[in-house]
């Protein structure tokens, strides 16, 4: 059964959000969980209407704060599959602080970051991912802001699962969702999402008939070349340096803009103890009256998580 609710979907005709919703609704049964054990938390923005359209538990929460609410849920309820739905404005502007701390803590949740490079809900202002020179209602002569690359940001915060996919490729989207959901820790999935009303065609270069010329599909072992150096992609490498270099492909602005094809797929997938497991472990130790200082107990837990 698909996890669709009885709510009327209220996005503009042609919005990329529909494709992501359909993929998620179709994928959720594969988790093998009851609907009451799945929670979607969103912030504010077009994509943040997502929880209404799923027959799961959910919360349309506070602007930019969905990762923090999800952190509490994931820590208090180990039995829940916790998801965050956010947009480029919600996650990277007002919620930037909350996003990076969820990533560094490695809380067990899956974050879907819908990136349409514009503020849609408030009708077309530039966002933290809009390109330099972007003309919008709030930048009538062009944006002078250097944009975030969400993948580079997540890798810089040492996120343990970092991936990119696109709304128009259902197969790729579903495969990335499955890998993200299976990962223990914070999974960050950037989804290139077309906003046909305020930023139509933002990702056309990797959607049309000549997409293959502009796209790099990341798989383990696939050969990548950045700045004249070639190597085999390893998403499991603990040092994120090479993964970061790949994340700069497709960018043209600034000294770290390496140009070249736009990579999609899994950039990084490594194991690290999760915040919620460690916190629950500390509580369990305290309740059991285990002797030793809190520092001793934390060290033991971290070591246990590393093995």
Q: Which of 64, 89, 95, 120 binds ligand SF4 (CB under 6 A)?
A: 120
Based on its alpha-carbon atoms, the radius of gyration of the chain, rounded to whole angstroms, reads 20
Neighbours of 246 (CB within 10 A): 27
Q: Quick check: 294 and 262 in contact, CB under 8 A?
A: no
User: Counting contacts by CB under 6 A, is residue 305 touching ligand SF4?
Assistant: no
Contact set for ligand SF4, span 42-81 (CB under 6 A) = 46
Q: Determine if 304 is a binding residue for ligand SF4 (CB under 6 A).
A: no
Q: Is 260 in the site for ligand SF4 (CB under 6 A)?
A: no
Residue tagged 């930023």 (tokens): 199
Choose, by CB under 6 A, the member of 50, 161, 192, 198 that binds ligand SF4: 198
Per-residue burial over 180-218, b if 16 or more Cβ lie within 10 Å, else e, is bbebebbbbbbbbbbbebbbeebbeebbeeebeebbbeb
For 174-269, list the strands marked E by DSSP. Answer: 186-192, 215-218, 223-226, 229-232, 262-269
Among 2, 7, 12, 144, binds ligand SF4 (CB under 6 A): 12
| Integer Cα distance of 207 and 260 in angstroms | 16
Q: How far apart are CA 70 and CA 157, in angstroms?
A: 18
Told to check if 112 binds ligand SF4 by CB under 6 A, we report no
Q: Does 196 bind ligand SF4 (CB under 6 A)?
A: yes
Q: Which of 9, 94, 132, 197 binds ligand SF4 (CB under 6 A)?
A: 197
Q: Which residues pair with 262 in a beta bridge?
A: 215
**Selected binder of ligand SF4 within 103, 153, 177, 195 (CB under 6 A):** 195
Cβ closest to ligand SF4, residue 17 vs residue 276: 17
List 86, 116, 152, 165, residue binding ligand SF4 (CB under 6 A): 116
| Nearby residues of 242 by Cβ (< 8 Å), 6 or more positions away | 231, 233, 234
| Part in contact with ligand SF4 (CB under 6 A); list of ranges 11-19, 74-82, 208-216, 263-271 | 11-19
User: Taking CB under 6 A as the rule, does residue 38 contact ligand SF4?
Assistant: no
Q: Is 301 in the site for ligand SF4 (CB under 6 A)?
A: no
Contact footprint for ligand SF4 (CB under 6 A): 11-12, 15, 17, 46, 116, 120-121, 195-198
């Amino acid at each position: 059964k698909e996890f669709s609710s009885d709510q009327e979907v209220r996005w503009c005709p042609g919005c990329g959000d529909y494709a992501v919703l359909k993929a998620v609704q179709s994928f959720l049964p594969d988790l093998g969980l009851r609907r009451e054990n799945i929670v979607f938390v969103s912030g504010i923005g077009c994509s943040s209407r997502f929880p209404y359209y799923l027959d799961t538990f959910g919360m349309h929460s506070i602007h930019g704060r969905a990762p923090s609410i999800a952190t509490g849920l994931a820590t208090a309820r180990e039995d829940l599959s916790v998801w965050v739905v956010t947009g480029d404005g919600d996650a990277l502007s007002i919620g930037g602080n909350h996003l990076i701390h969820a990533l560094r803590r490695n809380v067990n949740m899956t974050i879907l970051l819908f990136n349409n490079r514009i503020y849609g809900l408030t009708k077309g202002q530039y966002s933290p991912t809009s390109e330099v020179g972007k003309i919008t209602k709030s930048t009538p002569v062009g944006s002078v802001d250097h944009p975030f690359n969400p993948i580079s940001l997540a890798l810089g915060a040492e996120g343990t699962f970092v991936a990119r996919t696109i709304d128009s490729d259902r197969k790729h989207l579903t495969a990335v969702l499955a890998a993200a959901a299976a990962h223990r820790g914070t999974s960050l999935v950037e989804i290139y999402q077309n906003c046909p009303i305020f930023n139509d065609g933002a990702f056309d270069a990797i959607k049309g008939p000549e997409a293959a010329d502009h796209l790099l599909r990341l798989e383990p072992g696939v050969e990548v070349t950045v700045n004249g150096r070639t190597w085999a992609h390893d998403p499991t490498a603990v040092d994120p340096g090479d993964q970061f270099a790949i994340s700069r492909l497709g960018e043209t602005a600034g000294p770290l803009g390496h140009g070249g094809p736009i990579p999609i797929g899994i950039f990084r997938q490594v194991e690290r103890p999760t915040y919620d497991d460690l916190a629950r472990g500390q509580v369990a130790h305290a309740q059991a009256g285990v002797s030793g200082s809190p520092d001793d107990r934390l060290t033991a837990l971290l070591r246990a998580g590393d093995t």
